[in-house]
Amino acid sequence: MAELYFSSASALGKTSYAYVLIDGEYMRGRGITNENRIITEYQGLNKGLSLALDKDMRKLMVFGPRLIIDQLRGNVPVRSHRALPLYNEARALLSIFRKVELSVVSHAMNKAFPLAIESLKEFFEGKSIAKSREIPDRRIEWIKGLKFVADQHIVDLGRESCSCKFFSETNSLDVKRAGMVIRCRHIFTVERFVSK
């Protein structure tokens, strides 16, 4: 049976979705939105289901976050009016399969979760890289070891951390759970400075 994982992750007002479809080959998709988590999770699910149908899969095991799985099982009502059309779409897509099994999966076991984090990382680091070019070398000072001050913020290259607000806000619980780091403009600036 083919397997579909879907997930979402959020940081600093952005939410990303991701899905992974496994059926011999490994297919994946991801994206970033301004929507809330429930809407974003349905978006990921529906894209994955559509792809599975395009690929002519008729038996599918679906793994996702508890709330969505409970809603699809009919155990929990869909309270959000905006989520309702996406829920209905998911139900319609699911009804086309010959056999579907729905399962709740934890973040740690959800194969789409790291992919959702990758989307956030790519989005925020793209902004960080652009902004890092605005910080001149004279704003960087070496403290000791791998510690620097960049534009008044303390950067530790060893720990890949920074004391700025952007760093603490983008490295949300989700990002930490995935064992990843989203770098701010100060980290990129210092990385470029030491590589010169």
| Binding status of residue 162 toward Zn ion by CB under 5 A | yes
Asked if 140 is part of the footprint of Zn ion (rule: CB under 5 A), the reply reads no
- Shortest separation between residue 172's beta carbon and Zn ion, angstroms: 15
Give the CA angle between residues 67, 71, 76 to the nearest 5°. Answer: 85
Is residue 116 within 8 Å of residue 18, measured between CB atoms? Answer: yes
Q: Which of 96, 102, 35 is nearest to 66 (CA)?
A: 102
Indicate the residue among 38 and 190 with the shorter CB distance to Zn ion. Answer: 190
Longest CA span, the chain: 65
When asked if residue 72 is in the footprint of Zn ion (CB under 5 A), the reply is no
> By CB under 5 A, is residue 47 in contact with Zn ion?
no
**Among 6, 148, 167, 193, which residue interacts with Zn ion (rule: CB under 5 A)?**
167
Contacts of 87 (CB under 8 A, 6+ apart): 42, 71, 72, 78
Q: Which stretch binds Zn ion (CB under 5 A): 2-10, 55-63, 71-79, 164-172?
A: 164-172
E-assigned strands of 12-160?
Answer: 14-23, 25-33, 59-64, 99-104, 140-144, 147-150, 153-156
Tell whether residue 183 is a contact of Zn ion (CB under 5 A): no
Q: Is 124 in the site for Zn ion (CB under 5 A)?
A: no
Please identify which residue in 170, 186, 188, 190 interacts with Zn ion, judged by CB under 5 A.
Answer: 186
Binding residues for Zn ion, rule: CB under 5 A, are 153, 162, 164, 167, 184, 186
